[in-house]
Amino acid sequence: MPNAEQALPPDAAKPASPDAAKPAPPSDPRPAPPPLPLNTVAPIRIALALIYFHFGFLKFFPDLSAAEMLSTQTIIRLRLGLDAHTALYLLAVFECAIGLLFVLRVSMRIVFPIFLAHMAGTLLPLFLLPELTFKFAPFAPTFEGQYILKNSVVIAAGWTLFLAETRAQAQPAAEDS
């Protein structure tokens, strides 16, 4: 929603004061960008939630997730002391939980770091398993590599969501100060 300041004409927003004739101190002449209305980023939130839940839920079922090998081989290389089966199960829980956090509209201040950590994990095969993710590194990814590189769009979507929410929350506070 537009905030109260935006609703007023530019002149009306300036309070009258004795120092009005004085030149304003030098500052950033650009106005602060208005936050994106939250209802415009709602589809991003829903899409992220459904994709996370869907692809995570697939991992609960043996032999159903196309990302099984990439996920388990990456986790093995991280030497977390987990067997492949347990690792995949935990990843499924993790991804479904992120999906639910999105849909339940838990604060992005909490969800975004978790989301980013997961996204960082999805990028690891590019570095740990280049033999599987690149036909020729770095500009000819395999199908799996393309699948991973497209996560940049997902990260951008998450960032947009984070900014929209945090700015919307910050705006009333700015007005109060």
Partner 1 sequence: MKLKSDQVLPLLGMFVIGLGVHATYQTYRGSELSRVPRVGTSPGVAPPPAPPLEGQERPAPLSPGPRVQPQIEGLSIYPTVHKGMRTPFDLWAYYGRGVSSFGSPILPMRFEQWLELHRKQKPQLMQEVRDYMASRYDFSEEPIPGAFMSGGKPIMAGPVARLPEDVESWEALAALPASEVRARDLFPFKPLAHPLQSTAHMVFPRSWIAAHPEHERIDVDMDLPEAYLPEFPPPLFLTTHKELGDVTGGREVTLENYYEIFDGLLSPEQMEGLKELLRPTATTWFNHTDHRVTELPSQGVACFDCHVNGHTNGAFELGPDSRPHMGRLRVDTPTMRGNYNLMQLSSKRSIRSMDHFAEVEEYFDGDPGMQQAIGPRAAKREVTNRMADFNSILDYPPAPKLDPLGKLRPELATESELRGEALFRGKASCVQCHSGPAFVDDYMHDLQVERFYVGRAEGPIKTFPLRGIKDTPPYLHDGRLPTLADAVEFFNLVLELKLSKQEKQDLVAYLLCL
**What residue ranges bind partner 1 (CB under 8 A)?**
42, 46, 49-50, 53-54, 57-58, 61-64, 68-69, 72-73, 76-77, 79, 83-85, 99-100, 103-105, 129-132, 134-135
State in angstroms the smallest separation of the CB of 167 from partner 1. Answer: 19
Q: Which is nearer to partner 1, 5 or 142 (CB)?
A: 142
Smallest separation, CB 147 to partner 1 (Å): 15
Q: Which is nearer to partner 1, 53 or 162 (CB)?
A: 53
Q: Which of residues 7 and 47 has its CB atom nearest to partner 1 in the complex?
A: 47
- Smallest distance, partner 1 to C-beta of residue 47, A: 9
Shortest distance (Å) from residue 83 CB to partner 1: 6
Q: What gap in Å lies between CA 5 and CA 74, rounded to an integer? A: 50
Using the minimum distance from each CB to partner 1, give the nearer residue, 31 or 81: 81
